[in-house]
Each structure stands twice: as C-alpha cells, then as structure tokens.
Amino acid sequence: MKILILTNYANGLYLFRKELLQAFAEDGHKVYVSLPPDENMDKLKDLCRVIKTPFDRRGMNPFQDFKLFLAYLKLLRKKKPDVVLTYTIKPNLYGALACRIKKVPYLCNVTGLGTAIENGGLLSRLLLRFYRISMKDAQRIFFQNKRNRDFMNKNGIAVEKNALLPGSGVNLVEHPLRDYPPEYGQVQFLAVIRIMKDKGIEEYLEAAQIMKKKDKSLQFVLVGEYEEETRNLYEPQIMSLTKRKIIKYLGHIDNVEEVMAKSHVIVHPSYHEGLSNVLLEAAACGRPVLASDISGCVETFLDGESGFAFESKSVEALVHAMEKILALSCEERRQMGIAGRAWVEKNFDRNIIIQTYEDELKKIKGEKSEN
C-alpha cells in the first residue's frame, strides 16, 4: 500500500514512531511523510520519503492554514495514497478534511486536545465544530487517554469509530532498565518539558527554589526547548536560576535517556497531556516519577507504587510530593522505579501500537479489494 503520513514535527515522528515506519517498510508499503522542514528531517531519510510542507505548528493565521489545506489537497492528487495517517492538531483538521473531500481512507491520532480547546471559549467551540466535520468519515480515530475520548464523544466527535491506544508506547529495547544511580546524599530531580506555562514550567521553577532553601544538596535539572512566543518570559528567569545554581538547564537534547539514567526522580508538572512519553520513558528507565494528577499522566504509573501524583497548577502540591518522595529511603525509591518498569512492560510496549495500525491497514486493504 501507499501510505501518506501528515504530521507537524520530524523529531517527534522519529523519536516516537520510527518503529512504526520501519514496520511499514518491512511489510512492503511505500511510505511518504509530509511535515514542515526543520533540522531533524534527515533523521527520517532512511525510513520514508519526506515531503516538505511548510506551516506554522502553533499559529492561528486563517490565510496560512487555508494554504496548508490546499497543499494537502494537492498532495493527495499527486501521490494518490491508499491510506493517510494524521497526527497532531493541524494535520488532524486540515489533512483529515482534505482526505474526506478526496474520499481517501484516513486514520487520525489525537495526541492531545491542545490549549485552545482545553481553555474553552469561542475558539474551542469553533475547533470542535471543525473536528466534527473533518473526522466524520475517518476509518478510525485513536485517542491516547479516556478523558480526551469521552470529551470528544460528548461533543459529537468520533462517537463510533474510536479506539484507545497506549500513547506512542515505548521501545523497551532502546529504553532498557538502568541501574539506579548512587545518591551520595544528593537526590537529583529532572524535568523534561517544553518551556511553556501549560507544561508546568512555572511550578517546577518555583518548587526548585523552595526546596533548595530547605536542602542545598538537592539538584534540579531542566531539559527542554523554548517556545518562541514565550522565550522572553522564561529565559531571563531560567538564566538567573542557573547562575544562582538553583537549577541546571541543559536546553534541548536528543538523548534524554542519558540524563534520566543519571537522575533519581523524574518530575512532570503538566496541565494536560495526550499520554506522556516522558513518563513512559522514565518508567522504562526505572525511575520513580512525580506527575500531575491528570489524564495522560496517571495512566503511566501506579500512584504510591511507582510514583506520586499531585494536583496540577499547584506549587504547594508539587513541593509536598517532593518532600514525600524524599522521606523514602534510597532503596524504596529504587524499588519504585523497578515497579514502574514492570508497569510499562505490561501495558505500554510500542509493539502494541504497531500491531493496531497493521490491523487497520489490513481492514482498509480488504475493503478496497471488495470494491
């Protein structure tokens, strides 16, 4: 089959779905990927044929978005794919609508609702109406957590042809259980998040300052890239905290696992998630987690056994969770990490996702044969 994938970020596709691309190639499918160009595109060149489709991942310019819709229509006419896979918001909206118009079978993956919908208001209502139109004829709409699915179903979207996936899953071979590092009286907390409000950056930075005053030996590490629209808001603060040695900021790095392996506790204070890849990889690595008590996070660990949940948007709750895990012994923290590894082995093996997509492709191929 000829498969066209529409997504918004090369590195995300490579990190979380390269095994799916490999499986498609091994099955003899011809795979094209359409995404905006960036420095990560070369990572995909051995896995698929890359088509540069420029668009602003987060902008809300109607004229630019209409150009994206026209680009998708042109792409469908030119490549004539047998099936289209869409990921992330704009491909799910404009790509799915283009597929519906051109009557091309399509599978959508809702990796998260996004801030615009989560915040409510007029824009949220308009986007939900758009989703109802674009996804109406989808072969299947995948959701990564039950809350997102129920919310969309309540709004008349994907009421029938929906299914839950365990996020993007985790490659248990590439992310093996790592030995818990010696603490030497210096517990290291690590947050791997995009530098934006909705990922809990403000709570993490504030909690780090509070905890450092209580115990100077604690270490706080931050990995993640700035969002251009909020860089000026957070960069001065992060630079100041780095100079004062309250946190250590590593910026964007490709091999996060190396930093996770050297850390003792992974913190994820997000406001909303599809399903957190950071938490899955932390558990696979064998690290206990502190995570927001929200859908998209709580599915990835066992509260009280492999980590602790805390109220999102609350510095006080995050500080309490940090104090709670510090009250445990080093061995108890190590055992929590081992419990987390067992949980992802049982429920989040990436092969589950690959098999689900392969089953859907077989159904579509069968329907085409009958016609």
Burial bucket for residue 122 (CB in 10 Å: 0-12, 13-18, 19+): exposed
Q: What is the pLDDT of residue 322?
A: 98
- Residue 371 predicted with pLDDT over 70: no
Distance in angstroms (rounded) separating the CA atoms of residues 281 and 315: 24
In the predicted structure, residue 346 carries a pLDDT above the cut 70: yes
pLDDT at position 61 over 90: no
Tokens of 39: 């420095």
- In sequence order, the 6+-apart residues with CB closer than 8 A to the CB of 216 are none
Please tell me the predicted confidence (pLDDT) of residue 118.
Answer: 85
Is residue 239 predicted with pLDDT exceeding 90? yes
Pairwise CA distance, residues 325 & 318, whole Å: 11
Confirm if 141 and 162 have CB atoms less than 8 A apart: yes
User: Within 10 A of 258 (CB to CB), how many other CB atoms are there?
Assistant: 11
If you search the block for the tokens 């270490």, which residue do you land on?
A: 219
| pTM of the model as a whole | 0.87
- Please report which residue ranges of the chain form alpha helices under DSSP H: 10-26, 62-79, 89-90, 96-102, 115-118, 122-134, 146-154, 201-214, 231-243, 256-262, 277-285, 315-326, 330-347, 350-370
pLDDT in tens, 303-314: 999 999 999 999
- pLDDT category at 367 given cuts 50, 70, 90 is confident
- Indicate if the alpha-carbon torsion angle 312, 315, 320, 324 is positive or negative: positive
